[in-house]
Structure 1
């Protein structure tokens, strides 16, 4: 993947996250405070959406652009073991493949109490640097 494509994908993810955060601030009303949660280590940088932002992202179809030709080949997902979408995951040639859309993962997280998504950058995989990860509290 050339650096222009990677920069375009990263810019798209940042723009989508900014739109979601701004929308959540507007929907939350005046006086609501909001801080973006970012986790970072040597390998990953993860931008976590709140539950409200995740619901808005699901309603807006925010991550559909990650499933477009030319971009989908350079993205990945992390599907939770207790996800209802696990049946769409297969292992082929040592790789785990998800045969659904990233939007389905976002919608599932949004439908769960406390469910959130993280958009991450994996610095160790330059050809597949962007991904979506699901989170919700376990009972």
Structure 2
């Protein structure tokens, strides 16, 4: 993936979530630059996660990055964690969960939310998504 595509992904993801958060939410998502300065973490609260799920914002992940250019950390109780399998070509454990499934499942849990890590300097995996509940 070209550097421009990675930056485009970050912009597209940011635009979708800015739209979600601009729908009347009093607070914006919490944004944290990491200490190494290469990754920015965006943490949605529960209301923001619900809004993101309702507008289908998780679909942007797969539309822009496909299924092979992002990482996911599923909560231990996720119904999708049973879909993990080893991909020899990638030398790692994989899961075919979609971005929308990750966001929607977190939104369905009391207090559930998602965190996004955007790392433009990693063209192979510029985004990771984590469920929290």
Class of the TM-score when normalised by the shorter of the 2 chains: 0.7 to 0.9
How far apart are 1:35 and its partner, in Å? 3.9
State the 1:118 CA deviation.
1.1
Structure label with greater radius of gyration: 1
Post-superposition offset of 1:97: 0.9
Ranges in structure 2 where 5+ consecutive residues have no aligned partner: none
2:61 corresponding residue in structure 1: 66
Structure of greater relative contact order (alpha carbons < 8 Å, 6+ residues apart):
2
Aligned equivalent of 2:30, options 33, 37, 57: 37
What do residues 38-64 of structure 1 show as CA deviations (whole Å, max 9, x unaligned)? Answer: 223225321011101101111111121
| More off after superposition, 92-101 vs 44-53 | 92-101
- Measured against aligned partners, the alpha-carbon deviations of 1:53-96 in whole angstroms (never above 9, x if no partner) come to 1011111111212112x622322211122212111222222312
Indicate which of 104, 107, 112 corresponds to 2:109: 112
Alignment of 1:39-54 (within 5 A): 39-41=32-34, 42=36, 44-54=39-49
The structure carrying a bigger helix percent of its residues is 1
Query: Structure 1-normalised TM-score?
Result: 0.81
Aligned length: 128
Cα distance in 1 for partners of 2:28, 2:10 equals 20
2:86 aligned with 1:85: no
RMSD between superposed Cα atoms in Å: 1.8
